Amino acid sequence: MATIFQGLGGGAATALTNSFDSKKLLLPSTRRSVSERKVSFSVVRSDGTVNLNLGGSSARARRVDQLITNAVATKADSSAASSTSKPGHELLLFEALREGLEEEMDRDPHVCVMGEDVGHYGGSYKVTKGLADKYGDLRVLDTPIAENSFTGMGIGAAMTGLRPIIEGMNMGFLLLAFNQISNNCGMLHYTSGGQFTIPVVIRGPGGVGRQLGAEHSQRLESYFQSIPGIQMVACSTPYNAKGLMKAAIRSENPVILFEHVLLYNLKERIPDEEYICNLEEAEMVRPGEHVTILTYSRMRYHVMQAAKTLVNKGYDPEVIDIRSLKPFDLHTIGNSVKKTHRVLIVEECMRTGGIGASLTAAITENFHDYLDAPIVCLSSQDVPTPYAGTLEEWTVVQPAQIVTAVEQLCQ
């Protein structure tokens, strides 16, 4: 039986750390240039250094100083080489998404973008900045504020042979298009007897930000996971953001790409060579022996912050970023469960009916005999996300709770 473990408290600091190599497909090509964004922002690099470009905002500077940037990346710390000596090029996560999108638009003239303010404004988080000038207003189409209309239009365009990328300015707004996504996007291939494919990508920012309020802090993974015919992936690093974007565009299936609003300014060095990531493959973030920790999106960094404390206490956690929310990579997950015999799931999704609940069921059904302890699942509380910052932190899993859960699992 699975035990759902829910607690409160813990620090609010967020740790951002390096990403790790997963199995990847390298394609013979070169990187194409992408227009750069010149605005004020704070950057947490993959090597843990903080770079500030705040335009004189001392309050923001104090907030960034609170970030813990030395989370464990590997089993043993090693001196990192200078980032300037490494191959590849550095990009923020939103720039990596844009680079992947631009490369696919160059490669395939059927790829197009539609959504609110995606054109000359460049998107609410600048993922499409500069694309309208390069490709024109028909391939980068600004739409009215009508999610059900332009989502349905994108699905219809996919039926005729185009490959639309539909941007939701905020993932919560896509609830207005739930009928189009469920009854049309996910089912038309089946209901047409295979006459139509729907190669559409639905993407946008979501998750709990910093005091964005309940309606702008939605985690829609739990809403969409039950729709037949749809794949779901969640990016967590610039590397996998670009790789998953390119793979989603090339897929013949409808894909929902979840991006976390707090990860857009994460910086990482990615390869100059073209590559794609497998849409159905999890990423081994940190090998370990004592407990399997399954997570995704922003919670990857809360887990890695907790991992440093756990290592100092003598534990050896194995951390897996599941990335593919539907279907699950049960091969990678199963091999880890067979090795550690203990599972902790950490998610930002709601406790009831969330990704963690589905993952718990899948592991119990397939690997119950390998478990030495009940599965523990740490999830957000089943309440609207408060606007007050302190209360907002209490509704989301914090690193201290992860440490406590692992200690109890390994007793």
pLDDT tens for each residue of 53-80:
433 333 333 333 333 323 333 343 333 3
Q: Tell me the sheet residues that pair with 231.
A: 255
Amino acid sitting at position 386 = P
> Which of these three, 271, 305, 331, is where a domain ends?
271
pLDDT of amino acid 382: 87
Same domain flag for 297 and 167: no
> Which of these three, 221, 250, 271, is where a domain ends?
271
Binned average pLDDT, 10 residues per bin, the chain of 411 residues: 37 35 38 38 42 39 33 36 67 96 97 95 92 95 95 96 95 92 94 95 91 85 93 97 97 96 95 96 97 97 97 96 97 97 95 94 97 96 88 92 96 86
Closest CA to 328 of 393, 207, 231, 402: 231
| Residue 36 annotated among the catalytic residues of the structure | no
pLDDT of amino acid 255: 97
Q: Which of 95, 102, 103, 147 is catalytic?
A: 147
What's 351's domain CATH number?
3.40.50.920
Same domain flag for 136 and 233: yes
Same domain flag for 292 and 353: yes
What's 201's domain CATH number?
3.40.50.970
* Residue range(s) defining the domain that contains residue 308: 283-410
Closest CA to 206 of 303, 345, 350: 350
DSSP 87-137: SSEEEEHHHHHHHHHHHHHHH-TTEEEEETT-STT--TTSTTTTHHHHH-T
DSSP 191-257: HTTTS-----EEEEEES--SS--STTS--THHHHTTSTT-EEEE--SHHHHHHHHHHHHH-SS-EEE
Same domain flag for 215 and 326: no
Same domain flag for 299 and 241: no
User: Any idea how long the chain is?
Assistant: 411
Residue 94 lies in a domain: yes
pLDDT of amino acid 85: 61
Residue 156 lies in a domain: yes
pLDDT of amino acid 210: 85
pTM to 2 decimal places: 0.79
Same domain flag for 198 and 317: no
Residue 34 lies in a domain: no
pLDDT of amino acid 17: 35
Q: Which of 216, 260, 290, 302 is catalytic?
A: 216
Residue 126 lies in a domain: yes
Count of structural domains, the chain: 2
| Residue 392 annotated among the catalytic residues of the structure | no
